[in-house]
Amino acid sequence: MSEKNGCSRRNFFKIATALGAGSLLPSGAALAEGEAENSNPVKVPTRTFGKTGVKVSCLALGGMFDTATNQLLLKQALRWGVTYWDTAPSYGNGNSETGFGDFFKKYPETRKEVFFVTKSEKFDPEGLSKSLDESLQRTNAKYFDLFFLHGIKDPGLLNEQTRDWAKNAKAQGKIKLFGFSTHANMEDMLLAASKLGWIDGIMLRYDFRIMGTDKMRSAVDACNKAGIGLTAMKTQGKGAVAVDSQAELELSSRFIKRGFTDAQAKLMAVWQEPKISALCSEMPNMTILMSNIAAALERTKLTAGDLRLMDAFARESSPGYCPGCTSVCETAIGHSAPVGDIMRFLMYFNSYGEADRARRCFAQIPQETRDRLETIDFSAAERLCPQKIEIAKLVRQAVKTLG
Ligand code: SF4
């Protein structure tokens, strides 16, 4: 992490005091009052985004919520140096991009401070151009710093057509950098991208559970060598089902004694990997924003004992966690169902408590696929699933609760 960010231990205590707790424990009330308007708070550290040379805040504001009614939060994020902002046309039920647009209209001078990212869910050249132009219009932006193909898992989409489209959009000044986000088949996606030479950035699911696997380490190393900027998302490592775990209780009380929450410790674990440029977190309210900022400013390293306990928790709760290795289960069922997506939507429902978002996502699965979900034999997929997830049972639950 940058040493030039004003983040000395002394400054950390200054922000901790501003947080009202003298520790990393969040205190929304104290923060809502904040420091005096004219004060100059410390800023979260920055890191270089791949070979682009661009400095981005190590904490990115995930705008999966209604930013239109949350303008104060955007202002606070800027004050604390959270200048990497991430959105998508579908976020906040369509109100995320619009809300960022309202903010830039009101404070046009702030656009240059922000590393602004959106995504396209259309992947053909015509769809990409339409999606980009609509996003530019909604956000009142003249350009995006980074433009992603949204949530892809097929390396075949990284073809010459896509490369030429990105090159042209850059030449037109509409985007500065290009890449993709991915939740599934991630390691293969990263390895494929590392060989291309025209992918600038990738946002991937990355957390304390999977960051240490050999496959993920190799994929991250390959991107790092290729100069691709990496942004971690879904860093809390939540699962499709919540699993009771003794290790989780121990984890929580261990960190509380040291002044962190376990949620903050999970962010800190990701930041301990220097090959990750930024960590994107959904921060729909001031308490989460300030809690995450405090974690970003903390310079204490997690110990080997901390990481061992996290590992124990990961092992105990593994049957509820799906790391998106869809080439295993979806191949076993002849690609008749998007198992990885369904597990993610259940995660939104069961672990994030975001029922509307889970249902909206589930509704995007083609009707004919949804209609036959309960008739598919998932036994081959269950036998191969490395997490031993009860796929058939969870798919039935998804149909019942999200359908
Ligand atoms: S094989 Fe298991 S862990 Fe992997 S994507 Fe499928 S359900 Fe998830």
Cβ 239 under 6 angstroms from ligand 1: no
Do 328 and 189 lie in one domain? The reply is no
Do 272 and 378 lie in one domain? The reply is no
CA dist., res. 34 & res. 16, Å (int): 11
Query: Quick check: is 26 in a domain?
Result: yes
Do 303 and 355 lie in one domain? The reply is no
CA dist., res. 341 & res. 326, Å (int): 9
DSSP E strands, 207-256: 229-233
User: Does residue 289 contact residue 245 with C-beta atoms inside 8 Å?
Assistant: no
Considering its fold, how many domains does the chain have in total?
Answer: 2
CATH of the domain at 199: 3.20.20.100
Do 385 and 275 lie in one domain? The reply is no
Do 257 and 132 lie in one domain? The reply is yes
- Domain-terminating residue out of 282, 311, 340: 311
Angle at which helices 160-171 and 125-139 pack, to 10 degrees? 30
- Domain-terminating residue out of 281, 311, 341: 311
Cβ 162 under 6 angstroms from ligand 1: no
Do 278 and 361 lie in one domain? The reply is no
Indicate which residue's Cα is closest to atom 1 of ligand 1.
Answer: 385
Indicate which residue's Cα is closest to atom 4 of ligand 1.
Answer: 325
Query: Quick check: is 140 in a domain?
Result: yes
- Domain-terminating residue out of 292, 311, 330: 311
Residue 2 has pLDDT above 70, yes or no: no
The lowest-confidence range among 176-185, 337-346, 347-356, 377-386 is: 347-356
Residue 319 has pLDDT above 90, yes or no: no
Q: What is the mean pLDDT of residues 390-398?
A: 96
88 band by pLDDT with thresholds 50, 70 and 90: very high
Query: Quick check: is 4 in a domain?
Result: no
Cβ-based burial of 215 (10 A; exposed 0-12, middle 13-18, buried ≥19): middle
Distance 339 CA to ligand 1 centre (A): 7
Do 147 and 220 lie in one domain? The reply is yes
Which of 339, 393, 395 to probe ligand 1 with, by most ligand atoms within 8 A of CB? 339
Do 241 and 341 lie in one domain? The reply is no
Cβ 78 under 6 angstroms from ligand 1: no
Chain center to CA of 333: 28
Query: Domain range spanning residue 384?
Result: 322-402
User: Does residue 294 contact residue 264 with C-beta atoms inside 8 Å?
Assistant: yes
Which of 321, 329, 346 to probe ligand 1 with, by most ligand atoms within 8 A of CB? 329
pLDDT tens by residue, 179-193: 999 999 999 999 999
Q: What are phi and psi of 328, to 5 degrees?
A: -80, -65
Residue 19 has pLDDT above 70, yes or no: no
Query: Quick check: is 328 in a domain?
Result: yes
- Name the token pair of 206: 């990355």
Do 210 and 353 lie in one domain? The reply is no
Cβ 251 under 6 angstroms from ligand 1: no
Cβ 385 under 6 angstroms from ligand 1: yes
Query: Quick check: is 247 in a domain?
Result: yes
Do 278 and 297 lie in one domain? The reply is yes
Cβ 323 under 6 angstroms from ligand 1: yes
User: Does residue 83 contact residue 278 with C-beta atoms inside 8 Å?
Assistant: no
Do 78 and 193 lie in one domain? The reply is yes
Ligand 1 atom nearest 184 alpha carbon: 5
Query: Quick check: is 47 in a domain?
Result: yes
Query: Quick check: is 1 in a domain?
Result: no
Do 296 and 372 lie in one domain? The reply is no
Cβ 186 under 6 angstroms from ligand 1: no
Which of 153, 207, 325, 391 to probe ligand 1 with, by most ligand atoms within 8 A of CB? 325
CA dist., res. 376 & res. 361, Å (int): 20
pLDDT tens by residue, 192-237: 999 999 999 999 999 999 999 999 999 999 999 999 999 999 999 9
Query: Quick check: is 316 in a domain?
Result: no
